[in-house]
A and B are shown apart, each in its own frame.
Chain A
């Protein structure tokens, strides 16, 4: 291309835009004005909704999680389980994605309501921390080896962890396990704990967790329940997820108030069970 031709084109570009508009081109539509929501001083309430109608058991979530965190061999932070329901010849196989439920909990430690794993942690509550909401409000809370953030995430701080494993025993879902390739911060002779952190490093940067991002079927929906315009709030209203916790959450009898909900029109969750002693095997991904 000669320089002249380039310059000619350049000059053309300055005046040609009008012609494009005049041609009445349909426009792309990837962005939209942000809806002006009422200013919320509350912390977000992160929840995930697993739409069992959509999950096809591809395990892209498991792989994305492994890649995001370099999860050690033999440990998983999220898995896809299968449940077979009905009696021959009228049987059906459903895939159930699982990860840490980031439970609300029902037991109090100070002012914070915490789930069993946090309650039993001997290193909780420890240091004082501050959570800053998107609107800039400061919420004070306490850290620990395992602790609950005001936005509902149950997180780990390996520096404070003694590797006692009480949280593994306390979790009724088996979502926690030892990381055999990492030492606990306070007792190097013990293993560190590994579990889903809901991709807190991504959330804090404003992007969705890796498993949600990669889910091709859109079976994992993540968002802020405190935002009435969010997809999760809409689905929660449509499927009455909060009102029917005994049918929309895993193991409701454990009374942990999970923040992972399932859209389960066929009632498959009721048929899904595992023994307490086998709970750790639940978080092994075995393709049957």
Chain B
């Protein structure tokens, strides 16, 4: 993946944060700061003027309602779990706690990470998958700094495998649904941002695979 890791972990961290739970007042304050506003403008993310000028408590409420409507229910919501969206050849999909839930848990635990005991969600939540990539990218950056190239190569192989077997296999479709269903610009734009990030990552992975392929 060459040198594309320039802090990309931070972007995964941001998106993991946003999809993990409702936006807290502290996070909102950070997102409304000048630094982030500049970043969002740079990324052409239009959160609307209300997001920046509205009453903070009111916006936190609105975002919490939107988050619940999109990801928690009741009623029609979009389950943010891989096993619900990832269409598998063996037909074991479309339900919570499916085969992919177990596959993701095993994959993550095989890398030497574990789920925090206080995490009560399911192992294949979108935020978990994003945080996993964030952690891989952080470790990759550290390995490159320390000159541990073999470890860095292995970490990228793990990332590629996780991307192709899991994240890319379901997240784009899930994010399209989120972007269509969202009523506030915030979740719509964040879904589009993640979609673009995944597209970019996919492109880099494909290119690097082609480079490595024997002619």
Give residues in A with beta carbon < 8 Å to B: 1, 5-6, 8-10, 12-35, 205-207, 213, 231
A25 to B29, CA, bound (A): 11
- In angstroms, Cα B127 to Cα A10, docked, is 21
CB of B213 closer than 8 Å to a CB of A: no
Known contacts being A5-B44, A13-B196, A31-B135, is A23 close to B36, with CB within 8 Å?
Answer: yes
Residue of A nearest to B125 (CB): A30
The answer on a CB contact under 8 Å between B44 and A12 is yes
Q: B132 contacts which of A13, A21, A31, A231 (Cβ < 8 Å)?
A: A31
- Size of chain B's interface in residues, with CB distance under 8 A? 53
Instruction: Using CB atoms and an 8 Å cutoff, list the residues of chain B in contact with chain A.
Output: 4, 6-11, 13-14, 16-17, 20, 26-27, 30, 33, 35-36, 38-39, 42-44, 97, 101-102, 105-106, 108-109, 112-117, 119, 121, 123, 125, 127-128, 131-132, 134-135, 192-193, 196-197, 199-200, 203
Contact status of A13 and B20, CB under 8 A, knowing A20-B10, A23-B30, A32-B113 = no
Closest chain B residue to A31, Cβ basis: B113
Q: Is B109 in contact with A206, judged by CB distance below 8 angstroms?
A: yes
Q: Which of B4, B16, B113 is A33 in contact with, Cβ under 8 Å?
A: B113
Q: In the complex where A19-B39, A27-B13 touch, is A9 in contact with B196 (Cβ < 8 A)? A: yes
The CA of A21 and the CA of B14, in the complex, are separated in Å by 9
The contact sample of 9 A-B pairs, CB cut-off 8 A, is A12-B42, A14-B200, A16-B7, A17-B10, A23-B39, A25-B30, A28-B127, A31-B113, A32-B115
| Chain A residues closer than 8 Å to B101, beta-carbon distance | 207
* Contact A8/B44 with A20-B7, A20-B10, A25-B30 known, Cβ cut-off 8 Å: yes
- With A13-B200, A17-B9, A207-B105 given, is the CB distance from A23 to B35 under 8 Å? yes
Q: Is the CB of B10 within 8 A of A31?
A: no
Which residues on B sit within 8 Å (CB–CB) of A231? 117
- Chain A residues lying within 8 Å of B123, measured Cβ to Cβ, are 207
Give Cα A31–Cα B200 distance, bound, in whole angstroms: 25
Chain B residues lying within 8 Å of A24, measured Cβ to Cβ, are: 30
A1 proximity list for chain B (CB < 8 A):
192
Q: Are B13 and A31 within 8 A (Cβ)? A: no
A12 in contact with B113 (CB, 8 Å):
no
Contact between chains at A6 and B7 (CB < 8 Å): no
Select from chain A the residue with minimum beta-carbon distance to B5. Answer: A17
- B7–A17 CB distance below 8 A: yes
Residues in A with CB closer than 8 Å to B134 are 27
Residue of A nearest to B36 (CB): A23
Given contacts A30-B128, A31-B114, 8 further A-B contacts (CB under 8 A): A5-B44, A9-B196, A16-B39, A20-B10, A25-B17, A25-B30, A28-B17, A30-B115
Residue of chain A at shortest CB distance from B135: A31
> Which of chain B's residues has its CB closest to A210's CB?
B97
B131: chain A residues within 8 A (beta carbon): 27-31
Given contacts A6-B196, A28-B127, A33-B112, contact A18 B7 (CB under 8 A): yes
* Contact A20-B114, Cβ < 8 Å, known A9-B44, A30-B121: no
Query: In the complex, what's the smallest C-beta–C-beta distance from B20 to chain A, in angstroms?
Result: 5
From known contacts A10-B199, A31-B131, infer whether A206 and B105 are also in contact, taking CB-CB under 8 Å.
yes
Contacts of B9 in A (CB 8 A): 17, 21
What is the chain A residue whose CB lies nearest that of B12? Answer: A17
Q: Tell me how far the C-beta of A235 lies from the nearest C-beta in chain B, rounded to whole angstroms.
A: 12
Q: In the bound complex, how far is the Cα of B116 from the Cα of A33, in angstroms? A: 9
Taken together as a complex, chains A and B put the C-alpha atoms of A213 and B115 apart, in Å, by: 14
Docked pose: A20 CA to B30 CA in angstroms? 11
